[in-house]
Chains A and B, each alone.
Chain A
């Protein structure tokens, strides 16, 4: 999809709320999510029954609980039955689905949320299960080890100057909720909607051996389709510090203010979209890029372009 052209209806981020802590000791996923969902809805005076489409991003593998994403619906209340979906990915990719569903007449609002408590498991090992189940996952290459291969390839390329050393995988628990609305509905709900002018996501081959890990063709393609050129600020999802260098190059961000964060796994990307919307609402940026990634070594990348004025 070439972002701007394909959005028949203008969609804006109108509200958001988030929570992050190094390790949530006592509350379960639903208890962590409830106040955050309520806050995001409450800021624009909505209840779950006003929402046309609900979608979440999370991974049951982190919770070790089959259909954990269904249990999380306790945090929104699915009665009378709601129109709902889920992606086993970062919540940013759930937002992409919501933007597409909002192109349908009759659905004017969407709630997107993401949650994870990776502090309770072994996230580096758990993420190995994203890999090829027959030839790669049984070797248990941990997430940090794969990121280190990428950092080493960058050092060897000589293209990046100083490549930062690899810290331990960032582990935090948290959740984020984002409310979307279309056209006049968005203008009713807030004085400062952050309009999604373009959004696109691309994936690279699953086999790490066929990729050049020092570049991110999927980010370049998603950025082109979303219209990232000319942005004056960017909110990048950077699970490991060296990846910021690859993303800056892929998005051509020279001259733009860049804010990078990892965030909790499955949550960090959607948090970047919320942070970019906050930047637009606060007048810190005119045209903002929000980026989210999922998978090993920036395998999948989503780029959205936000502005304070509608098309």
Chain B
């Protein structure tokens, strides 16, 4: 009897062009100017950052835009102790609720000892140099502590 074949390799490659959409395009262009633009749902009033043009909960377009300050609060975080390409270990990823936003987004936290990162820590965005900016979230290199007193638990307890 011949050996059974246990693996067949069938490489697949397809190219796609991604379309961020009208609302996300405005957001991405604002990032080039160093501004974080959120969008407010006309129905439930939640502010989305990043905005995708529609409220996931209400199914309506989020046309109203507002500029967020770029400061926020650490709602939860993780210390990774295995290096990844471009990042030395240990590094910290955190869900950050930007001031004025109603959803959290994930960013790196740097310029501090990973052991110092904690829930409620106040942080601010550190931007790529203006000349090097492109229309993507990579313009925010990472967040760093602001040195402000920690936020009250009540302000982020729904996001932990």
A interface vs B, CB < 8 Å? Answer: 24, 26-28, 30-31, 34, 37, 48, 61, 63-65, 73-79, 117, 120-122, 125-126, 129, 133-134, 137-138
Give the A-B pair count, Cβ closer than 8 A. Answer: 83
> When chains A and B are docked, how far (Å) is the Cα of A37 from the Cα of B60?
10
Ordered by A's residue number, 15 sampled pairs between the chains whose C-beta atoms are within 8 Å are A27-B19, A28-B24, A30-B21, A30-B53, A30-B54, A31-B21, A31-B22, A31-B54, A61-B14, A65-B18, A73-B59, A75-B54, A121-B14, A122-B15, A137-B10
* B9 closest partner in A (C-beta): A138
Pick from B17, B23, B59: contact of A31, CB below 8 A: B23
Contacts of B89 in A (CB 8 A): none
> When chains A and B are docked, how far (Å) is the Cα of A138 from the Cα of B59?
39
Q: Are A74 and B16 in contact, with the CB atoms below 8 A?
A: no
B5 → A minimal CB distance (Å): 10
> When chains A and B are docked, how far (Å) is the Cα of A300 from the Cα of B57?
35
B54 → A minimal CB distance (Å): 4
A118 → B minimal CB distance (Å): 11
B11 within 8 A of A: yes
Contacts of A30 in B (CB 8 A): 21, 52-54
> When chains A and B are docked, how far (Å) is the Cα of A72 from the Cα of B10?
30
Q: Are A133 and B10 in contact, with the CB atoms below 8 A?
A: yes
- List the 5 shortest-distance A-B pairs measured between CB atoms, nearest first: A77-B59, A28-B21, A64-B16, A79-B57, A138-B10
Pick from A28, A61, A79, A120: contact of B56, CB below 8 A: A79
Q: Are A138 and B16 in contact, with the CB atoms below 8 A?
A: no
> When chains A and B are docked, how far (Å) is the Cα of A127 from the Cα of B156?
46
Contacts of A31 in B (CB 8 A): 21-23, 53-54, 61
Contacts of A37 in B (CB 8 A): 59
A69 → B minimal CB distance (Å): 14
Contacts of B8 in A (CB 8 A): 134
Contacts of A117 in B (CB 8 A): 19
Q: Are B21 and A48 in contact, with the CB atoms below 8 A?
A: no
> When chains A and B are docked, how far (Å) is the Cα of A137 from the Cα of B14?
12
A49 → B minimal CB distance (Å): 10
Pick from B10, B14, B24, B56: contact of A73, CB below 8 A: B56
Q: Are B21 and A27 in contact, with the CB atoms below 8 A?
A: yes
Q: Are B17 and A120 in contact, with the CB atoms below 8 A?
A: yes
Contacts of B110 in A (CB 8 A): none
Pick from A26, A28, A77, A137: contact of B55, CB below 8 A: A77
> When chains A and B are docked, how far (Å) is the Cα of A46 from the Cα of B11?
47
Pick from A28, A61, A77: contact of B58, CB below 8 A: A77
Q: Are A121 and B16 in contact, with the CB atoms below 8 A?
A: yes
Contacts of B59 in A (CB 8 A): 34, 37, 48, 73-78
* A47 closest partner in B (C-beta): B59
B145 → A minimal CB distance (Å): 33
Contacts of B52 in A (CB 8 A): 30, 74
Contacts of B18 in A (CB 8 A): 64-65, 120
Q: 20 new A-B pairs (CB below 8 Å) besides A74-B56, A137-B10?
A: A24-B19, A26-B25, A28-B20, A28-B53, A30-B21, A30-B54, A48-B59, A64-B16, A65-B16, A74-B53, A75-B59, A77-B59, A78-B56, A79-B56, A79-B58, A117-B19, A122-B15, A126-B14, A137-B12, A138-B12
